[in-house]
Structure 1
Amino acid sequence: MRRIKLTVAYDGTNYAGYQVQPNGNTVQAEIETVLARMHRQPVKIVASGRTDAGVHALGQVIHFDTSLQMPAERFVKALNAMLPDDIHVKQAEEADALFHARYGAKRKEYRYYIRKTEDPFRRHYAATVTYTLNLESMCQAMKLLVGTHDFTSFSVTKAEVEDRVRTIYETEVLEVDDEIIFRFVGSGFLYNQVRIMVGTVIEIGRGKYEPADIAQMLEARDRRMAGITAPPHGLYLWNVNYEKVD
């Protein structure tokens, strides 16, 4: 058996998330269905992590084991020929037998897009925030999220994991034309963590909180202390890195 690593992009608009579930179509189900047709038997795939309904990806990483002998790069053309148009395999490569898409990930990058004006062509790809935002305050708040912290206040109350300590290496806020982009690079992220951080920073931009309140929110370890959860459709899993972090 060989292990194949895929880098996949998808538009999450019409999916109930990445992970297979009883009700609703998912990205995982679509890919596994095509692989099963190719192999004439079920094939299980493992991803770097799941994304929620409406969330997009430019650099989701997946691995699977195969008995097929065709070159790894040919999986790109073969899979894309059968996958729906809103899922696209960007790269396929041979991986070490010990490679693991989820447990081997060292860094993940997420980006979140908001628009300052309504745009029907971007309504599924950026959240709309029409009120005035203080970009400087938002940048100050984002910097306070960098480091190793307990992010309990920025995760759902009933999280599946007990350890909520994560490390954020980089944050950034960019203003590009009529959009604002939030960028986060970290060791990993809790369920809804990025969306809660974005929602909180947006409320800081509105003046509901001060940038310095981020420190108090982290210290409180209480979801009620942080801001709203931003909607899913502005969020993108941008990149997953497997190289050792210095």
Structure 2
Amino acid sequence: MKQRYFIYFSYDGTAYHGWQIQPNATSVQAEMQRAMSLLLRHPIELVGAGRTDTGVHARTMVAHFDDEQLIDTIQLAYKLNRVLPFDITVARIEPVDADMHARFSATKRTYHYYIHLDRDPFCRAYSYALHQAPDFHLMNEAAQLLLSHKDFGAFCKSHSDAKTTFCDVYEANWIKLSDTKWYFRISANRFLRNMVRAIVGTLLDVGWHKISISQFVEILHSKSRQQAGESVPGHALFLEDVQYKL
């Protein structure tokens, strides 16, 4: 009888074309499956909580896999961290009920997007450099409108295979770290492809007074990706947390 396991891990996405396996490109999923199959001595297929785009990072990512043998989860986590690339780290592995699913059982996902306004060599790889300070108060006013909205088609990547563009956003706000460093925190039950980066880009248009709050509302209701702002770069985006009712 197979036992299902959840594996919790983090990664620096700089060197990867996202989480999901794809032809002729390096992915986090491929590296993880290669290492696990090597250690467990048979093919392992991981199902992730979601997919991150090229260059996007994860402080907490979750995937599940099934195995017929009883696994010493502490030892497996230790061995994985010896054979995986240094930009992927396993935190823990836990047995879960057979009906638990890394993607479909997740109740909340949280992303952070980092920006900085100063010239900082230690930020450039993981934060988006802005050359003009936006109006954060105005951006937070616009961000609160996301909580009462349901259809996020305006922030969905064109030609996406998503069956629905409906999401429940629980939290969306800009948080100040210092006079020159901020991050955008957003939590929802699910996210569409490119959704966070498109929202941040559109909020920055609000913050730079390129569009008004009322125009932001019009974009929300338009359901058209062409109406929203440009997507910001992926290197400053982190999947911060994935939560379950275990």
Task: Return the offset for 1:38.
Answer: 1.1
After superposition, give the CA deviation of every residue in 1:43-91 in whole Å (9 maximum; x if it has no partner).
Answer: 1000000111100001110111123433223222121111111000112
Task: Return the offset for 1:23.
Answer: 1.4
CA distance in 1, matches of 2:78, 2:217: 48
Residue 219 (structure 2) aligns with? 217
Residue 118 (structure 1) aligns with? 119
Unaligned runs of 5+ in 2: none
Equivalent pair of 2:206/2:216 in contact (CA under 8 Å): no
Unaligned runs of 5+ in 1: none
The size of the alignment, in residue pairs, is 244
For 1:41-60, what aligned pairs fall within 5 Å after superposition?
Answer: 41-60=42-61
Task: Return the offset for 1:6.
Answer: 0.9
CA distance in 2, matches of 1:210, 1:63: 43
Equivalent pair of 1:8/1:58 in contact (CA under 8 Å): yes
Using a 3 Å threshold, how does the CA distance of structure 1 residues 68 and 119 change in structure 2: closer, same or farther?
A: farther
CA distance in 2, matches of 1:53, 1:111: 16
Residue 183 (structure 2) aligns with? 181
Residue 98 (structure 1) aligns with? 99
CA distance in 2, matches of 1:2, 1:148: 39
Residue 245 (structure 2) aligns with? 243
CA distance in 2, matches of 1:100, 1:237: 18
Residue 109 (structure 1) aligns with? 110
Q: Which amino acid aligns with 2:193?
A: Y
TM (normalized to structure 2)? 0.95
Cα RMSD over matched residues?
1.4
SS of the residue 1:166 aligns to:
coil
SS of the residue 1:54 aligns to:
coil
Residue 228 (structure 1) aligns with? 230
Residue 203 (structure 1) aligns with? 205
Q: State yes or no: 1:40 paired with 2:44.
A: no
Residue 137 (structure 2) aligns with? 136
After superposition, give the CA deviation of every residue in 1:145-202 in whole Å (9 maximum; x if it has no partner).
Answer: 1134111111122111241111101112111122110000101010000000000111
CA distance in 2, matches of 1:228, 1:60: 26
Q: State yes or no: 1:160 paired with 2:161.
A: yes
Task: Return the offset for 1:227.
Answer: 0.8
CA distance in 1, matches of 2:219, 2:147: 14
Q: State yes or no: 1:26 paired with 2:49.
A: no
SS of the residue 1:9 aligns to:
strand
